[in-house]
């Protein structure tokens, strides 16, 4: 399972992905190659590495963290992958 935040991840989005991956098992990732100085400082201060850059989400099981969009709230499927596909179709401009 891959845990990611929004397109331009800030510190809370990155930390949420890391925490969820640790709590539920899986990998934290980012959809951006740019890590803010604040995020870099926090990760370094507490001994965490930056999540991996994920260029392509196709065929990955993804859990979105720190993400509030109505399509997420109304997703009725039990599969994260199906839910992600539904969200991606509705919000295709949000993904790189």
**Distance between CA atoms of 64 and 74, rounded to whole angstroms?**
14
What pLDDT does residue 69 have? Answer: 59
Question: In this predicted structure, what is the pLDDT of residue 86?
Answer: 52
**Predicted TM-score of the model (pTM):** 0.69
Burial of 1 (0-12, 13-18, 19+ CB in 10 A): middle
Q: Where are the domains of the chain?
A: 2-67
Q: What is the mean pLDDT of the chain?
A: 77
CA distances in angstroms from 17 to 27, 89, 90, listed in the order given: 8, 22, 22
C-alpha span between 10 and 39 (Å, rounded): 7
């Amino acid at each position: 399972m891959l845990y990611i935040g929004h397109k331009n991840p800030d510190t809370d989005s990155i930390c949420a992905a890391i925490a969820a991956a640790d709590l539920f098992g899986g990998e934290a990732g980012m959809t951006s190659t740019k890590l803010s100085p604040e995020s870099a400082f926090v990760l370094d201060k507490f001994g965490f590495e930056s999540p991996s850059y994920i260029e392509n989400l196709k065929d990955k099981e993804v859990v979105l963290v720190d993400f509030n969009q109505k399509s997420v709230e109304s997703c009725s499927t039990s599969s994260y992958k199906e839910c992600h596909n539904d969200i991606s179709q509705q919000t295709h401009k949000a993904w790189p």
